[in-house]
Structure 1
Amino acid sequence: MMKPGIKGKGAIFIVLLSVLLLLLWFRDSAEPTTGDAAEDGSNNSGEVIQDEEHEENSNHTENELPDNEVIEETEEISETTKDSDRGGSENNTLVEGEKTETENEAASNNIEKELTEEEVKKEEEETESGQPNGNGGGDSLSDSNLYTNSQFGFTMELPETWQDIIRIDTNAFSPDQEGAVNFYYEPSAEINQLVFSVIIYTEEKGKEQEDNPFWMPIATNNGYTFGYIIPGEPTEELLAPENSEKLELVQHMIYTDLPKIISTFKFN
């Protein structure tokens, strides 16, 4: 058997060395990356995570308020709501107050209107029924134009033309008069002209009127003296040019009709 020479040993050594180097190379290729490269990869990964967390926190910050700011905003909204409710309540109270005041005023006006209508109606009824408006106890005209005074017991016949234009009241002109019956020419609300008045005194007071040029006695009965007076001047309304015809009518009533009326005066 032949022994290898020096050249054969050298070739074997080279082959073994080559195999060892190949193994080392394969081992290094199979091991995980270490050193700076590993650190760079780790750092890059950390930076990516931090960026994602920062972006997520930014989104939360934009979409959500801190707890204390949320509480303050809630309190502001509550205060605004309260103020709004309070304002609405005050406005409602004012509206209700104005409504109540308006209703009370309307009710007061209605009451005054009813009282006024009642007074007018009462006055008309008194005039029509002959109940006294003063202390004369006068009665209105009857259908036959006969005036009857139930308190002092006398009657007078008035012209038929006086029926719708005469207003009668029994207000005395002075305290020393026992009574009075006043006949007014009143064709409208603007004209109110006295035509004549029957005045009643006691007999003693009646004697004191004998020197009165405006007093014209009629008769004495049951302790009373009866007389009449006529107005001194027409009213300003009657003297207006547009009322000249009414003035002529009043003059006719005083100077033509009145003497005929006094002639019909008698006691019951």
Structure 2
Amino acid sequence: MAASGGTILYRDRKFGFTLKFPEYWRRYTVMSRKNDMLDAEYTVHFIFKYRGKTYGPVLSVIVFRMTRKEWVDQGYEDSPLRFIAEHDKHVFAYDTPEELPSEFIDKKTGDYDYVKYGKQIRLMKRMVNRDVPLIVKTMRFPVKKVTLEPSPYLSKRIKVPRC
């Protein structure tokens, strides 16, 4: 990830898309490209970390080999996954956690321990609820360069000058 002006630019090495993250995400996330969905072609997880301990993804970008129409026809519109874009016969979607990690639960009360994990909980909520919707709007794809192959000009009228 490259930093510029308060943001970090992530460029995916497999599909070439970019995402812009707030600078502070560098300190609180690690990446994993573990594809754990059977029907997905590719997944990249941005996993929340705090003081060296990882807890779970705050954002997962999932790539499916299908069109937007196939996405809708197969019922993904009604799933927890949210559509980002269609590009080059692939659908790009994202997912966020629906609950805080179970590590934040107090074993005695069965409720979240806001005293012990207050800062982590506030950070995760900020990242998921405020940052992720803005981050996914920054997804861009590389522009494919069109190169024209030279073709010889064939004509019977062209005469090569003699030297």
TM-score by length of 2: 0.72
Displacement of 1:188: 2.8
Partner of 1:235: 101
Residues 191 and 168 (structure 1), Cα distance of their counterparts in 2 relative to 1, 3 Å cut: closer
**Helix, strand or coil: the match of 2:61?**
strand
Aligned to 2:71, which of 206, 215, 224? 206
**Helix, strand or coil: the match of 1:200?**
strand
Conservation of the 8 A alpha-carbon contact between 1:237 and 1:243 = no
Paired residues, number: 127
Task: List alignment gaps of at least 5 residues for structure 1.
Answer: 1-140
Cα distance between partner residues in 1 of 2:36 and 2:25? 23
Aligned to 2:28, which of 165, 181, 191? 165
**1:160-198 deviation line (CA, Å, top 9, x unaligned):** 111111101111122211101101110234441320101
Aligned to 1:220, which of 73, 83, 86? 86
Conservation of the 8 A alpha-carbon contact between 1:193 and 1:234 = no
Q: For 1:60-71, list aligned pairs within 5 A.
A: none
TM-score by length of 1: 0.45
Conservation of the 8 A alpha-carbon contact between 2:3 and 2:23 = no
Cα distance between partner residues in 2 of 1:151 and 1:191? 24
Conservation of the 8 A alpha-carbon contact between 1:196 and 1:229 = yes
Cα distance between partner residues in 2 of 1:206 and 1:153? 21
Aligned to 2:120, which of 209, 233, 246? 246
Displacement of 1:203: 1.4
Whichever structure has more strand as a proportion of its residues is: 2
Conservation of the 8 A alpha-carbon contact between 1:184 and 1:193 = yes
Cα distance between partner residues in 2 of 1:192 and 1:149? 23
Conservation of the 8 A alpha-carbon contact between 2:29 and 2:47 = yes
Displacement of 1:201: 0.5
Percent identical across equivalent pairs? 27
Which amino acid letter does the alignment assign opposite residue 90 of structure 2? Y
Task: List alignment gaps of at least 5 residues for structure 2.
Answer: 105-111, 143-163
Whichever structure has more helix as a proportion of its residues is: 1
**Helix, strand or coil: the match of 1:248?**
helix
Cα distance between partner residues in 1 of 2:117 and 2:2? 29
**Helix, strand or coil: the match of 1:225?**
strand
Aligned to 2:19, which of 156, 159, 172? 156
Q: Which has the higher contact order (CA 8 A, sep 6+)?
A: 2
Cα distance between partner residues in 2 of 1:253 and 1:196? 9
Partner of 1:192: 55
**1:47-92 deviation line (CA, Å, top 9, x unaligned):** xxxxxxxxxxxxxxxxxxxxxxxxxxxxxxxxxxxxxxxxxxxxxx
